[in-house]
Chains A and B, each alone.
Chain A
């Protein structure tokens, strides 16, 4: 079941929110766990045993780590933590690399499970004694398929108490709708435009550039849209999930970009890999090694093809160069120029993402540099640009803070007129979204493949 299916939007989510409010508080987590398992079974039924297995394993493993930690048995504690990590990483690796169909959300719920074990093993948080609370943390339906990857120590206090207020319900609904608009009206439209260009056997340089821009915007609105829907849905049940995107295409440096793009994955690697390895405090050589390890793992996490490894290395090299060499030069450039350079690196990197093989990647680069012999700009370019001009303008404008400022300005309108204008706009966008969902073929979320 997808977040953008009518079944989810009209039946599953409203019914879950309503029933969760009616059910006594002490049974609420149990209800949400059952609803989450139903959601997962509906989305990826045959892989439910994998999720259940990881849930049960994580509960007992965390309790075992807690027991050893309480006894001061640090030697066996480290060994157990290592063995647990190897097992969960091996499960993930087998699914990613053996050719078995990838269970939906396995990269996300496995990282949540590892977060729990690391936090308990290192004494950052206690093992949750109530299995329902821990299992809900792992399988909570808004985040189980595509994150955000909430860290265990941050989520633990919410598992006992997540009161739903009118404000959280309203906030959640608006956030969910914002995500829906991003996915249905922007991401899917950019996806259609990209697929048309990608299907061309040969193209002019600027057509290839336009295709790359379409894909970059599709990916951003697809994943940030999903994240907004997840955060919004969680808020309807009183949970606060961490932010996953913060206007990444307005970043002023590569490091800044990664503090704004898929924030929770970056934070996971920072807290559980980069800092334990020594971070930036152990000299320049160690810093380079640590960054290389983190970016290699980030690439591998995304997929089982060479292209994702190359994409990880691409960002690793850029971030390392920026930290060691380029930072002092970048500081002298204007904000707009720095932002343009970051976007050049980001959009170039997406070519690794949408190309199935390094050969296809080189082929696309060849098209950008005119290897197809179709020139710099031709009638195709004009057609695809003019045909998608409004979409492109809206997509670029919405990358920044323009929508938030616009909403804030409308809210400040005299009397209740601002509220009515916003309500009207929301209703219009909702109508357009539903119309598009009904009229177009279903398009899956891109990050569901990871």
Chain B
């Protein structure tokens, strides 16, 4: 037996002596119940407090972009790719259906000011009659959820109205667009890949 093992035993004996002096046996049952109640209370509080996702903006954006086939800094660091790689990417897809928009475009299409969100990313239709769109927002506070959802619903309604009657394919995409507000994030996505992007978004949260 080495020195540290014998010390360990001495520690145990000392602890036993103190435990018998201080703790009656019933304390274990009581402690177990109290800890169980504490765990249930923690979970209940989290369930009631709006389920804010712990996922970072970068990870959610990367997951959504990967599902949408967008080469962003987070997915492939496209700016570092050699020309041959870009050619391969371009071979694979025809003209991209979505173009990246800035804060001004977000304000124009959704009426949302930069101050109203923590982070945002917009890919709006490349063609004038296109309907492929992706708008991802990280809310500043949970109480912004309703406001952002309304902005997205207004955009959806406006797009449907724009295409109604003379652009059936784009109308179909706009009508089938998806709005998801969850975990402190909001997503508006329109296009044939909407379902896949929504799934990736949910999984990333």
- A residues lining the B interface (CB < 8 Å): 25-26, 44, 46-47, 49-50, 53-54, 56-57, 59-61, 63-64, 67, 84, 87, 91, 94-95, 98-102, 129-130, 160-161, 163, 192, 195-196, 198-203, 305, 356-357, 359-360, 374, 379-380, 383-384, 387, 440-442, 444
Which of A101, A160, A200 has a CB less than 8 Å from the CB of B51? A101
CB nearest to A381 among chain B residues: B88
| Interface positions of B from 139 to 175, Cβ below 8 Å from A | none
B148 to chain A, nearest CB (A): 18
Alpha-carbon distance between A100 and B183 when the two chains are bound, in angstroms: 8
B74 to chain A, nearest CB (A): 6
B16 within 8 A of A: yes
Could you write out 25 A-B pairs with CB less than 8 Å apart? A25-B4, A47-B54, A50-B42, A57-B38, A60-B32, A67-B25, A98-B47, A100-B51, A101-B183, A101-B205, A160-B11, A163-B2, A163-B4, A195-B76, A196-B71, A198-B66, A199-B69, A201-B69, A202-B92, A359-B196, A379-B91, A384-B88, A440-B77, A441-B73, A441-B77
A64 touches B51 (CB 8 A): no
Alpha-carbon distance between A130 and B19 when the two chains are bound, in angstroms: 9
Alpha-carbon distance between A373 and B54 when the two chains are bound, in angstroms: 40
A contact residues around B51 at 8 Å (CB): 99-101
7 tightest Cβ-Cβ pairs between the two chains A and B: A160-B8, A60-B31, A57-B35, A60-B32, A101-B54, A53-B39, A356-B199
CB nearest to B71 among chain A residues: A199
Report B27-52 CB contacts with A as 1/0, cut-off 8 Å.
11111101110110011001100011
CB nearest to B75 among chain A residues: A195
B42 touches A53 (CB 8 A): yes
B95 within 8 A of A: no
- B residues lining the A interface (CB < 8 Å): 2, 4-5, 7-9, 11-12, 15-16, 19, 25, 27-32, 34-36, 38-39, 42-43, 46-47, 51-55, 58-59, 65-67, 69-71, 73-77, 84-85, 88-89, 91-93, 182-183, 195-196, 199-200, 202-203, 205
Residue picked from B27, B36, B65, B202, most chain A C-beta under 10 Å: B36
B35 touches A60 (CB 8 A): yes
A301 to chain B, nearest CB (A): 16
